Chains A and B, each alone.
Chain A
Amino acid sequence: DGGITQSPKYLFRKEGQNVTLSCEQNLNHDAMYWYRQDPGQGLRLIYYSQIVNDFQKGDIAEGYSVSREKKESFPLTVTSAQKNPTAFYLCASSIRSGGHNNEQFFGPGTRLTVL
């Protein structure tokens, strides 16, 4: 079945460590996104990629980094520079970034807890 996978579902890390969250899609979508969700809040965009080897910062990119070496993969690294990394991270993809009603499809999310 086509879809978006994120791993792991739960992740625990010590403060000061970098951690990489995986996101893979087999929908042949061009655009991929990373969002952060804090308790009781909506989603905020971290990074966005429209095509391979290209990505742009979202609203809260500080302390995060991404790569897009393959169309299917868009890993997110949470660096030690991120002040409050504990959150729920959601990856999404869409057919293309433009257009009207091309909704974004979301993965199951990774819950990161920094101890």
Chain B
Amino acid sequence: AQKITQTQPGMFVQEKEAVTLDCTYDTSDQSYGLFWYKQPSSGEMIFLIYQGSYDEQNATEGRYSLNFQKARKSANLVISASQLGDSAMYFCAMREVWMDSSYKLIFGSGTRLLVRP
């Protein structure tokens, strides 16, 4: 079965510094996708970034980048120039092929990031 592991329950970072949130995954599929979502205290899940298993370049979206190391099965999220508004829970998720052509997301347990002023 596919699995997502986030080993950092909580992280602190100083405002304006960069921070890396770890994510490792386990799958036997050749084709898969990895997502990162942000969950503020309000509860809504906000999509941040996506990496496909066949993408040769690491994904980037503004201040977010994904450090994808396929051989190590890791997909770490890097947030550059942290802002106070980045304080939230962050979830790594993997797309699992399910019910033939459909898919579902498998989520990790999350990392709570606190940005210090």
Contact = CB atoms under 8 A, between A and B. Distances in A.
A82 B33 CA distance: 32
A111 B104 CA distance: 22
Q: How big is chain B's contact interface, by range?
A: 20 to 34
A56 B99 CA distance: 9
Main secondary structure on chain B at its contact with chain A? strand
B101 A103 contact: no
A90 B37 CA distance: 13
B83 to A, nearest CB: 22
Interface residues of A, number: 27
B102 interface: yes
Given A42-B91, A97-B99, A106-B44, 7 more contacts: A40-B9, A41-B109, A48-B102, A58-B104, A103-B50, A106-B37, A111-B43
10 closest residue pairs by CB, A with B: A42-B107, A97-B102, A106-B45, A109-B43, A103-B47, A98-B101, A101-B50, A43-B107, A108-B44, A42-B109
Interface of A: 31, 33, 40-45, 48, 50, 56, 58, 88, 90, 92, 97-98, 100-101, 103-109, 111
